Amino acid sequence: MQLTDLTAVQLLAGYRKGEFTPVDATEQALERARRIQPRVNAFVRLTEEDALARARESAGRWRRGAPAGLVDGVPVTVKDILLLRGHPTLRGTRTIPEQRGWDEDAPPVARLREHGAVFLGKTTTPEYGWKAVTDSPLSGITRNPYDPTRTSGGSSGGSAAAVALGAGPLSLGTDGGGSIRIPAAFCGIFGLKPTYGRVPLYPASAFGTLSHTGPMTRDAADAALLLDVIGAPDPRDWSALPPAPGSFTERLKEGVHGLRVAYSPSLGGQVAVRPGVAAAVRRAVAQLADLGAYVEETDPDFSDPVDAFHTLWFSGAARLTQRFSAHRRQQLDPGLREICAEGARMTALDYLAAVDVRMDLGRRMGLFHERYHLLVTPTLPLTAFEAGREVPAGSVFRRWTGWTPFTYPFNLTQQPAATVPVGTDGDGLPVGMQIVAARHRDDLVLRVAHALYEAGVGVAAPLPAGQV
């Protein structure tokens, strides 16, 4: 049996029945990680000794019938933006010294540790998570599981590739403008950006309250399980939400019957969506109607907030590097240096004007969700393009935000938003559909995604032969 093909829910069922152990699952996941690394470059480092030690401890607990928590013995990977005790967190940059004390877990990592998870290693990120593809001066280019000449997306590209290829069913990603949803869509997996504050974040992001932490998984059931673990308050994050009322896992089976769904294929004509993407999303939307949702093709009431997003994003990058010496600055990704310079020219009034746009967008979406439980869009207007580029060849856009217009608006509004794989384009590359709900309604996003998986819609296309 290939345990790398199983979800976390399935692994836990097998542990419970004694069919296999966490050591078995961890050994297979580590072997898979080593095998895929030369081809896709998903990992900054593997933490093999620690993983096997934790797996053996977990196996002992399962033998005694006393698992430590909800994910005891499940292999997990962690994006190298988040602290993992005992191992460096270098954030894709050469500007952070590796030899320092690494004695603290980020809040979601701490919760996973309490619940017995097995940490396989740290996954790749662009430098400080600044862009929507994954390449960095530190670790090079991360590639797409379906076609290694193409990008995995970003900034949680290593996590997406690892999950897609079976190197652990659960991963922690971060999302400041789509950085969970973009690579999840490109790599054919599920990714959820929860409501801001649902998963505490520490240290605080330089990009402020745009940045969220969330699950990257094979399906919605695994994401609900992971959110049940990591969606707990932490005193180090003053903006963390109180515990969610009830379990996300328990609410999955409530289905979609009677939900009002707004389907916006192009945000009112603002986005040029490639035909293969549009067709795959439209088929999935039709399935939602077949499952009992009331679907209406309509658009939310907003224009592209990209200028406001740039102000907040670029000024955050400038703040991050404000005290860098000239030598450290020269070590940065050239694109990151550019946006830092642009952000440094922005004024406090520019920033506050962007906050005004953000608050108005939040108001508009709040009113929109008075009429509709959910908004559905393509996750991206295209599928994975050439690796090593910030934008596709021949693009009129200079920055990554030009091809991600469906994702960053919902970082501004802090709403829960997920991507579900809904098929492929003509080149066999995965297509994602985005599901958005009102703030604090993560349960609705997960319910709808789970219904699609149960109906056989949210299943990624098989990987090409020889990819795993």
Q: What is the pLDDT of residues 123-163, one digit of tens each?
A: 999 999 999 999 999 999 999 999 999 999 999 999 999 99
Q: Is the pLDDT of residue 246 over 90?
A: yes
Q: Position of tokens 């310079």?
A: 341
pLDDT of residue 462: 81
**Residue 179 falls in the annotated catalytic set:** yes
Q: Is the pLDDT of residue 466 over 90?
A: no
* Catalytic pick among 79, 122, 131, 193: 79
Domain boundaries, the chain: 3-454
pLDDT of residue 164: 98
Burial class (CB in 10 A: 0-12, 13-18, 19+), 274: middle
Q: Is the pLDDT of residue 54 over 90?
A: yes
For the chain, what is the largest distance between any 2 Cα atoms, rounded to a whole number of angstroms?
62
Instruction: Tell me the CA distances in angstroms from 134 to 42, 43, 79, 389, 390, one per residue in order.
Output: 9, 11, 11, 9, 9
* Catalytic pick among 58, 139, 155, 171: 155
Q: Is the pLDDT of residue 468 over 90?
A: no
Q: Is the pLDDT of residue 1 over 90?
A: no
The pLDDT tens digits of the residues spanning 203-234 come to 999 999 999 999 999 999 999 999 999 999 99
* Catalytic pick among 58, 159, 171, 179: 179
Residue spans of alpha helices (H) in 7-114 = 8-17, 22-40, 48-63, 107-114
pLDDT of residue 458: 79
Separation CA 200–CA 70 (nearest Å): 19
Burial class (CB in 10 A: 0-12, 13-18, 19+), 208: middle
215: helix, strand or coil: strand
At 213, which helix (H) or strand (E)?
strand 212-217
pTM above 0.75, yes or no: yes
Sheet of 190-193, strand order: 43-46, 118-123, 75-79, 170-175, 212-217, 190-193, 417-424, 430-437, 374-378, 260-263, 294-297
Beta bridge partners of 175: 212
Give the model's confidence band at 100: pLDDT under 50 very low, under 70 low, under 90 confident, else very high.
confident
The pLDDT tens digits of the residues spanning 155-208 come to 999 999 999 999 999 999 999 999 999 999 999 999 999 999 999 999 999 999
Nearest alpha carbon to residue 31 among 167, 215, 224: 167
**Residue 79 falls in the annotated catalytic set:** yes
User: Chain-wide mean pLDDT for the chain?
Assistant: 97
Secondary-structure class of domain 3-454 per CATH: alpha beta
Q: Is the pLDDT of residue 18 over 90?
A: yes
Burial class (CB in 10 A: 0-12, 13-18, 19+), 63: exposed
Nearest alpha carbon to residue 55 among 28, 79, 84, 83: 28
The pLDDT tens digits of the residues spanning 372-406 come to 999 999 999 999 999 999 999 999 999 999 999 99
Tokens of 10: 């399935």
Separation CA 185–CA 44 (nearest Å): 22
pLDDT of residue 101: 86
**Residue pair 418/223 in contact by the 8 Å Cβ criterion:** yes
